[in-house]
Amino acid sequence: MAAEARTRSLVTVVAALQIGPGADLERILEFEAEIRGASLVVLPEAVLGEYPGRVPFPEYFRAAVAVPGPETRALAGLAARTGASLVVGVIERDGSTLYSTAVFLDPSLGLVAKHRKLVPTERERLFWGRGDGSTLPAVPTAAGLAGAAICWENHMPLLRAAMYAKGVEIWCAPTADDRDVWQASMRHIADEGRCFVISACPYESSGADPFRGGSVIVGPLGDVLAGPLRDGEGLITASIDLGEIVTARKSLDVSGHYARPDVFALTVDERPRDGVTFLR
């Protein structure tokens, strides 16, 4: 579908849902009416499961979700009812380890992929494990070929190069970074990758360290199409045309005519890295 989209104009609506960190499933489902009509909706990092260090660890661990599990099945139902692909930041529990994960829900197929954050940042390292190269998907959606980088993964140049090489058209960035400079990062990635960027950030008005939002949608030349949304929950939307990517990449295709494989090389290991391997 992505290859087809690059040869024709495809206009669709994409969205970012700005909602409080650690929102429960019912709170997300309350936005069903707003989500309906969008082809792709991105939600913040850790929207299911809470950002670390804000509640006691046993409580935090219990709030994490299995992937797949009841919560992802409920999100798949939301995708099916609204017709929207969803990219949702969750705290995934796998055995006794937690991960910051982005799950991909398809309206017809349900849970189709996940991406585990490769490098937790600062205090996150006390709570979260590190993902490996086996969860770096590029997922076909009605809006285009989508990939995800979570929060400060967006500052990893080699990760960006790998995802650009996969042909990502919709760059999904669930985040907890509400700083003004985050907006510059999102605009840079859109311009560098010549892709559409959807970043969803949490919002809350109380607490010792509240999040002030900043969800934004950016076009493939770095132009802001919607947002940044500040000081409230809500849904921002933008109509996008994948045909703009064709025009934008005429002058800059970082994994194509702007690459120098004779000078620079990147190897990406996508094999699962389990702690124990049983050979029989």
pLDDT digits (tens, 9 = 90+) for 41-74: 999 999 999 889 888 999 999 999 999 999 999 9
Percentage of the chain lying above the pLDDT 90 cut:
87
**CA–CA gap between residue 41 and residue 166 (Å, rounded):** 21
pLDDT digits (tens, 9 = 90+) for 121-174: 999 999 999 999 999 999 999 999 999 999 999 999 999 999 999 999 999 999
Which residues contact residue 114 at a Cβ distance below 8 angstroms, ignoring those fewer than 6 apart?
Answer: 67, 92, 101, 102, 103, 104, 135, 137
Mean pLDDT of 231-257: 96
Domain boundaries, the chain: 11-251
Provide the sign of the torsion angle of the four alpha carbons 258, 116, 21, 68, taken in this order: positive
CATH architecture type of domain 11-251? 4-Layer Sandwich (3.60)
For residue 120, count other CB atoms closer than 10 A to its CB: 22
pLDDT digits (tens, 9 = 90+) for 191-241: 999 999 999 999 998 877 789 999 999 999 999 999 999 989 999 999 999
Q: What is the pLDDT of residue 10?
A: 80
**CA–CA gap between residue 169 and residue 56 (Å, rounded):** 39
- What pTM was estimated for this model as a whole? 0.94
**CA–CA gap between residue 10 and residue 63 (Å, rounded):** 39
Residues forming the active site: 45, 117, 151
Mean pLDDT of 101-117: 98
- Which structure tokens are listed for 198? 């959807």
